[in-house]
Structure formats: structure tokens, C-alpha cells
Amino acid sequence: MLPASHRLRRSDDYRRAVRSGRRAARRAVVVHLLSQAGLDQAEPARVGFVVNKAVGNAVLRNRVHRRLRAVLAARLPDLPAGSLTVVRALPAAASASYDELVSDVDAALRRVLEPR
């Protein structure tokens, strides 16, 4: 479970991360990461999820959301302090196993975290 201080809550934060952040897509997910340079380093990294109806019915969407939340909770220490991360599930996430989601998220995070 993600601690409350690490959750994205405001739509403006989602919008900023998606529009201005770096993006990496894989088969099951798209990861948007906005690293806010110059921000107080005491600010925690925050993560949000987008799992829309294209993924499937409510049961499938909730399962995908829970799995993605577990994957990102384990990777919080790897995210830059003060960063905003949005993970958007694609329809392929509904049929992906947990290990496939882990692999896709890790590959996308490596891509958005690598220096330009």
C-alpha cells in the first residue's frame, strides 16, 4: 500500500505530470514522470494511477490498480524526491500477469529516469 504522503490527489498534479513529464510506454503501461528540479528535497515522490474502462470491467480495473500500486510501492525509494509519477494502464494490462506488469513498469521507469 502506498502511504498517503506518496499519493497524487489533485487533478492539476496528474495533468502536469502527463503534459510536462517524460514518458515511456511498454506493452501494458505508460509511465509519465515529472522530476521537479529545485524543489525541496524533503518533499516525497508522489504516484498516481489511471486505469480506465478500456482495461475492462470494474473487477479487472481494480485488480490492475492493486497490482500496479504494489509494484510502485516497492519502487518508491528509486523515484527522485519531489517527483510526480503517473502510471496509465493499457488494455493489455488486464491479461498481463503480475510479473509482466513488474517487468513493464521497471523497463518504463528505467527509461524515464535515465539522464537525457
**What is 4-113's CATH number?**
3.30.230.10
As a whole number, mean pLDDT of residues 10-29 equals: 96
pLDDT of residue 40: 57
What is the rounded distance in angstroms from the CA atom of residue 109 to the CA atom of residue 103?
10
Nearby residues of 93 by Cβ (< 8 Å), 6 or more positions away: 28, 29, 51, 55, 64, 68, 101
pLDDT of residue 42: 73
| Nearest to 46, CA basis, from 73, 19, 28 | 73
Domain ranges of the chain: 4-113
Q: Rounded to a whole number, what is the distance in angstroms from the first to the last CA of the chain? A: 31
The structure's pTM equals: 0.93
